[in-house]
């Protein structure tokens, strides 16, 4: 059984004054560290300070994107090696906001994921369908196609450094979520594809759900089969909200373990 991962994504939010929130989240992460892993993907400007602040904590600090190269003439870009150097240990790649705002393709996402893994980061590879793709009945085609193409640069040896986040685009920041049955249907197929790609090692890749995960739906989302954690945007900005999602994940993990014991 994989240990759930509760990951926050602050997007373009957070100033130095918000490091207090990071410290509070770190203390909750430490308290629940036996049951869940906790990650906070911060804007690049906060990573080094947050990593120093949480040096003795189990809270993992991550970035939200990286370039596929290591160094070079790419004004404004940050490499996975630089993120690692600043203290990050994970990075989100292929978030739908980057695919949309920066026209990132699966090919680019695949190169970024490979660069992240090579730099020693956990790459959280995001996939998800738009509202129109869903209404056309193409959800599985789109999501599984993105998965395969975005992981083309990774192999079975890398899988401990990979997580997948299923984030329906229409659920992000909208307060809408798919039904538990719909989420389960996608996650089970993602799992199958991961096993096809990586063999047995594919069973250990964590598949997170993201899109309007909140304190009041976290317990329901995190008990869905093959949901191994959550990628949380808006609700990770407030320590109290993110803490209650972390606690929900921890309680579910403890209960599952109890059943197995
Ligand atoms: P949300 O964002 O939780 O605010 O919907 C999730 C994400 O984009 O990762």
Q: What is the pTM of this model?
A: 0.97
Return d(Cα 217, Cα 221) in angstroms, integer. Answer: 6
Per-residue pLDDT tens digits for 187-207: 999 999 999 999 999 999 999
Residue 113 has pLDDT above 70, yes or no: yes
Between the CA of 217 and the centroid of ligand 1 the distance, in Å, is 13
At residue 261, the pLDDT reads 64
- Per-residue pLDDT reduced to its tens digit, 134-181: 999 999 999 999 999 999 999 888 899 999 999 999 999 999 999 999
pLDDT surpasses 90 at 1: no
Per-residue pLDDT, 58: 98
Question: Using a 6 Å CB cutoff, which residues line ligand 1?
Answer: 9, 167, 172-173, 210-213, 231-235
């Amino acid at each position: 059984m994989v240990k759930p991962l509760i990951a926050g994504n602050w997007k373009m939010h957070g100033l130095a004054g918000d490091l207090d929130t990071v410290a509070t989240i770190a203390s909750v992460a430490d308290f629940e560290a036996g049951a869940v892993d906790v990650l906070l993907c911060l804007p690049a400007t906060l990573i080094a300070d947050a990593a120093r602040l949480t040096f003795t904590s189990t809270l993992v600090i991550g970035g939200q994107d990286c370039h596929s190269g290591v160094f070079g003439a790419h004004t404004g870009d940050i490499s996975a090696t630089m993120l690692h150097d600043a203290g990050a240990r994970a990075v989100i790649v292929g978030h739908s906001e980057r695919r949309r705002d920066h026209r990132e393709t699966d090919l680019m996402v695949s190169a970024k994921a490979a660069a992240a893994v090579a730099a020693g980061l956990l790459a959280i590879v995001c996939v998800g369908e738009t509202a129109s793709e869903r209404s056309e009945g193409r959800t599985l085609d789109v999501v599984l196609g993105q998965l395969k193409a975005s992981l083309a640069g990774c192999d079975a040896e890398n899988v401990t450094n990979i997580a997948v986040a299923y984030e329906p685009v229409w659920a992000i920041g909208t307060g809408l979520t798919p039904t538990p049955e719909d989420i389960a249907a996608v996650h089970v197929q993602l799992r199958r594809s991961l096993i096809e790609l990586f063999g047995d090692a594919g069973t250990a890749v964590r598949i997170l759900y993201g899109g309007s995960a909140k304190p009041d739906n976290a317990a329901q989302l995190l008990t869905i089969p093959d949901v191994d954690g959550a990628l949380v945007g808006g609700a990770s900005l407030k320590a109290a909200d993110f803490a209650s999602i972390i606690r929900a994940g921890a309680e579910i993990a403890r209960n599952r373990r109890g059943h197995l014991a």
